[in-house]
């Protein structure tokens, strides 16, 4: 009896795990796939920072802030209309040498929120 119950419990847990993982796939959170500059990169001053996501983003709720050595800089972030998966962060002024961080937040079209940072250095 105990044996049967534990088998049923295992079956139920397995079914639950499958349900969770398939829901995860279907939900499709917007993860950062790549960026330009890439995190950790040392580059010549870029005109903009491009963030490429795994899913389409909600324009209203997705954006990014730029800081240099921890101090906020004026910048403008815009979702590329084509595809809707790329966020372009344009600094308000040309970037001088230093350490920069882009703090991004994204809401995918399924309504789930993700956030992260890309840090790079301008030589
Ligand atoms: Cu999701």
Check which CATH number belongs to the domain holding 77 and give it: 2.60.40.1220
Give the per-residue pLDDT at 49.
98
Q: How far is the CA of 114 from the centre of ligand 1 (A)?
A: 9
What predicted TM-score, i.e. pTM, was given to this entire model?
0.78
**Does residue 9 sit within a domain?**
no
**Does residue 19 sit within a domain?**
no
Domain interval for residue 49? 28-122
Token pair belonging to 85:
């998966």
Which of 23, 101, 112, 28 lies closest to 62, judged by CA?
112
Give the per-residue pLDDT at 28.
82
Give the per-residue pLDDT at 22.
45
Which of 50, 104, 110, 102 lies closest to 80, judged by CA?
50
Q: How far is the CA of 50 from the centre of ligand 1 (A)?
A: 22
Q: How far is the CA of 93 from the centre of ligand 1 (A)?
A: 34
Q: How far is the CA of 109 from the centre of ligand 1 (A)?
A: 8
Give the per-residue pLDDT at 85.
97
Token pair belonging to 16:
């639950």
- Of the chain, the end-to-end C-alpha distance in Å amounts to 70
**Does residue 6 sit within a domain?**
no
Which segments in the chain show pLDDT lower than 50?
19, 22-26
* β-pairing verdict for 63-68 and 71-73: antiparallel
* Total number of domains constituting the chain: 1
Element (H, E) at 16: helix 2-27
């Amino acid at each position: 009896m105990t044996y049967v119950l534990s088998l049923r419990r295992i079956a139920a847990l397995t079914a639950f795990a499958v349900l969770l993982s398939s829901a995860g796939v279907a939900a499709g959170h917007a993860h950062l796939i790549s960026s330009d500059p890439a995190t950790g990169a040392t580059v010549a001053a870029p005109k903009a920072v491009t963030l490429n996501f795994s899913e389409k983003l909600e324009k209203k709720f997705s954006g990014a802030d730029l800081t240099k050595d921890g101090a906020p800089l004026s910048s403008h972030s815009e979702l590329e209309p084509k595809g809707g998966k790329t966020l372009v962060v344009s600094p308000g002024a040309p970037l001088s040498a230093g350490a920069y961080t882009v703090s991004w937040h994204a809401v995918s079209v399924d309504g789930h929120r993700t956030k992260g940072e890309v840090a790079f250095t301008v030589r």
